[in-house]
Chains A and B, each alone.
Chain A
Amino acid sequence: MVAEIKKPQSQYQSGQAQVAIAERLTDPGWAWTAYKPDAHQPWNLAQAGHLYRRAAFGATWEQLQQALRDGPQRTVDKLLRPQADIVAFSRTYDEHENSAVGSAEALRAWWLRRIIQTPHPLLEKMTLFWHSHFATNGAEVNNARLMRRHVQLLRRGALDSFQSLLQGISRDPAVLIWLGADANRKAVPNENFARQLMETFTLGPGHYTEKDVREAGRAFTGWFVLRGQLRYIAREHDGNVKKILGQEGKFTGDDVVRIVLEQPAVSRVLVRKLYRWLISETEEPDLKLINPLAESFGRDYHVLRLVEKMLRSNLFFSPVAYRQRIKCPVEFALGIVKALEGTVSTTQLGQDLAALGQNLYHPPTVKGWAGGRHWINSATLVGRHNLALSLLRGSGPYADKLNPWTIAKKHGFMTAKSATSFLLELFLQGDLDSGAYDHVLKTMQARVGADSGDVEARVRRFAHTVVTLAEFHLA
């Protein structure tokens, strides 16, 4: 069967539809209600692509087609709670990582491979989110075993309880070494962890005082990292009364975590951060939009429920979210790899992504990757262009693991012309504004059809053109 693709309806709505949507967006009740397709916001390939970019690392053609058949909510179900045997998959990859002793480069490569292969990409997406939130730099920790455990801790908690995750972080040797909090004596209380806990991990500036930090530092006395092992030395713990965020008692580190999480500021901070990650990084959301989610998240700190609320929402499938984020380098590269159903050398990929500013296991500072427009400068754009070239050219460090022509044929697009339409659908769901769409198809198809060289080479060039369009950098 030879498939053909008709020019799709653009995601760019008519002015009338935009006004209708804009009116509804001012209503938080509507914004967080589960999305049901209607005339203004129909379920289409562009929406499916959007969902897979945010909740995963891109999609295969089959996944996009299945999503069209399943509808939005059923597709979200599958992304939140996949049918596959996640436990067995995780065990296998944990074992791979455990045997990758010694080097952070090997861990980086295994993580990328895991992201490509996983039946539960949302889990990895959220692990990456927490990796930037609890940003710990492996070069400073200088212990691959501890870094492996650190990211495994993030993955265990990624969609689970933020409270348990935070408790785990407070006793994670990698984090304590990185923050210079690996020796906390009664006589010389170490404030480093307490400070980052309040400033970066939970409350944010303005919601605590220097005195709270000092007192919290005392509560964490007794904890040490000795030869890479976490140790609690009871006689080094300051058992006296502390006063933290208005509460008084003979507090320990666990008490500090509990007290901090009782502050309403925490859930607002996290909901905002997750909003930036899953919905939009272009506009600061209104407090009235954040509050309903923050209130319910603050009650149990259950991450999966929060993520679920966001992914199912009208807001998520609205223009407020659509293409309102810049892909991080991992999303950019794996968007190509996933769509073309290949597995590439992730050792090489880890290195190339580091050059684009995202060195997994090595976030630049405790603030994580700034992201957004910071990903983009002349050097990183040239780097993205060259990485895409390297992935798609069929020879060189990535060999011929990705072949757009083969994938087009696999899905029934047997001519050079239909393959180009297919690639526009696959990578961008055909969603270029209409002038650009016509232009790309007309001139590039003419070129792909007429230029010298075999069809495969021409389709490769076309694929490279598509993934270096400005649109493809948007998540």
Chain B
Amino acid sequence: MFYTRRDFLKATLGASTLLSFAPAVPSLLVRSVMAAAPRRDDRDTVLVVVQLSGGNDSLNTVVPYGDDEYARNRPTLRLPSKKLHKINSLVGFHPRMGAFMRLYKEGYLSIVRGVGYPNSDRSHEGAMRIWHTADPSRPSRQTGWLGRAVDSIWSANETDTRAVFVGPITRPFGLNAENAIVPSIRSLRDLTTGRMPGYPNEQSAKKDTAALARVDKDNPLLDFLRCSTLNAHCNSRRIEAAARTTAQTAKYPSFQLAWSFRTIAQLIRADVGIRIFFTELGGGGIGGFDNHANQLGNHCALLQQLSESVAAFIHDLNRDKLLARVILMTFSEFGRTVKENGRRGTGHGTAAPMFLAGGKLKGGLIGPRPSLTDLDNGGLKFHTDFRRVYATVLDRWLGFESRIVLDKQFEPLDILDV
């Protein structure tokens, strides 16, 4: 017989006999709750969305070195083919993306090519807004697709936090929800309860259990708050415990993005019911992917951060046998122009690939490689609407209803091994 933590609470304490005594929630009880059998929820899958801010130059990320048009259009920016990590005789990863190459070989990485949408927007703000709302027809839409996803699974008695933004910038619009409050955190401290200096030791806290576990038949709202307070404290303790056990073991490179991934891995390990994580690379005024001039060096650094941070994350999860629960997905507001612009940079483009990483992917290159000559105003033509990728992760991975989130049914891609 399996229990969720909530089932366990109900079974042991009675449906509404829960503590109201927040700071003194006894560690004994919390520990036994935490030791309960793992979640039974049919779906405990997790989606990690990584935003590459500024418009990533996909042609210098997954490089079509075997196509003469690449070198012809990129007189100064072309990457020497002997330094690439070759996927096949046509394309290879950027020289600094050795870590992605390893993930690819291990079957933990897929590349969905030619992703975009009709009449693509070429302004950062407009294009990013479209990726966030998932609604190109209504630029002024006030909710993001992930915010709607969280709202779509809300239920009146469930108080686990379902989505979190992890990172140092303002929470991206994609998480804006009509109803749910989606927190933005920088570190685990934002999700764990602090203690007053000199708070009584655990021994005395234990005594609080019995006396405070009581029912309030007359006020369901009070019961709700008692349950959710206890649940919040359990989640906080779980996060603390997960942080302690992984502080030494996991190896991450010293990038901000890697730090965010480490935080996400700890939260996945803590098993506190978060289904969606969102993090970001390139925003916050540090240059980002928007390289109109002298692109090479900056782009190198960003791709190295991305590739090594993602790889550290994937391997960390894999070591703890958690990778089968996680899919990571990258996106950028647009790709860049095929032709470089005379200032050793590139202009705002259109379609681009999305990377997916995780333990339940079919792997490989998905969809045909977009032509370098048959273009959409100098950018690549898309063949896969980005909402098909969203629908895939919503329907087939998270088990949500993409039709509610995206307003209609987009055909999912056959890219998951589930």
Contacts and interface: CB of A to CB of B under 8 A. Distances in A.
Interface of A: 12, 137, 179-180, 192, 282, 319, 323-326, 355-357, 364-367, 370, 373-383, 385-386, 389-390, 392-393, 433, 435-436, 438-440, 443, 447, 451-453, 457-458, 460-461, 464-465, 468-471, 473-474
A392 B197 CA distance: 11
10 contacts: A324-B221, A356-B181, A378-B273, A379-B164, A385-B23, A393-B197, A438-B211, A447-B204, A460-B196, A465-B23
A374 to B, nearest CB: 5
Nearest to B198: A453
B218 A386 contact: no
Contacts of B226: 470
Nearest to B24: A465
B228 A381 contact: yes
Contacts of B235: 378, 382
The residue among A381, A457, A469 with the most chain B CB atoms within 10 A of its own CB is A381
B179 A370 contact: yes
Contact of A376 (B21, B198, B224): B224
Contacts of B200: 447, 451, 461
Given A364-B178, A471-B222, A439 B208 contact: yes
Nearest to B138: A180
A385 B193 contact: yes
Contacts of B140: 179-180, 192
B214 A436 contact: yes
B332 interface: no
Interface string B244-263: 00000000000000000000
A21 B204 CA distance: 41
B170 to A, nearest CB: 9
Nearest to B224: A373
B212 A439 contact: yes
B127 interface: no
B15 interface: no
Contact of A468 (B22, B190, B204, B272): B22
Interface in B220-241: 220-222, 224-226, 228-229, 231-232, 235-236
Nearest to A469: B20
Interface of B: 20-24, 140, 142-143, 154, 156, 159-162, 164, 176-181, 183-185, 190-200, 204, 207-208, 211-212, 214, 216, 218-222, 224-226, 228-229, 231-232, 235-236, 272-273
B142 A365 contact: yes
A390 B140 CA distance: 38
B219 A436 contact: no
Nearest to B159: A377
B225 A376 contact: yes
Given A365-B143, A376-B228, A389-B194, A474 B222 contact: yes
A362 B20 CA distance: 32
Report the 8 A-B pairs with minimum CB-CB distance, sorted nearest first.
A357-B181, A468-B22, A470-B225, A381-B232, A439-B211, A470-B20, A379-B183, A365-B142
A33 to B, nearest CB: 24
A385 B229 CA distance: 10
A355 B183 contact: yes
Given A389-B196, A393-B197, A447-B200, A381 B211 contact: no
B41 to A, nearest CB: 15
A377 B181 contact: yes
A75 B193 CA distance: 38
A386 B193 contact: yes
A79 to B, nearest CB: 24
Nearest to B273: A378
B178 A323 contact: no
A14 B204 CA distance: 34
A147 B273 CA distance: 37
Given A180-B140, A364-B142, A436-B211, A379 B23 contact: no
A171 B173 CA distance: 28
A370 B23 contact: no
A382 B192 contact: yes
The residue among B160, B195, B221 with the most chain A CB atoms within 10 A of its own CB is B221
B392 to A, nearest CB: 27
Given A380-B183, A461-B199, A385 B194 contact: yes
Nearest to B232: A381
Contact of A379 (B22, B154, B181, B216): B181
Contacts of A473: 225
Given A386-B194, A443-B211, A457-B197, A474 B272 contact: no
Nearest to A438: B211
Given A319-B218, A468-B23, A469-B20, A378 B198 contact: no
Given A323-B219, A376-B224, A393-B197, 9 more contacts: A192-B140, A364-B178, A373-B156, A374-B179, A377-B232, A379-B232, A382-B190, A439-B212, A470-B229
B266 to A, nearest CB: 15
A461 B195 CA distance: 9
Contacts of A464: 23, 196
B176 A365 contact: yes
Nearest to A358: B181
A366 B229 contact: no
Contacts of B216: 433
Contacts of A436: 20-21, 211-212, 214
A323 B220 CA distance: 10
Contacts of A378: 159-161, 191, 228, 231-232, 235-236, 272-273
A303 B191 CA distance: 41
A357 B211 CA distance: 33
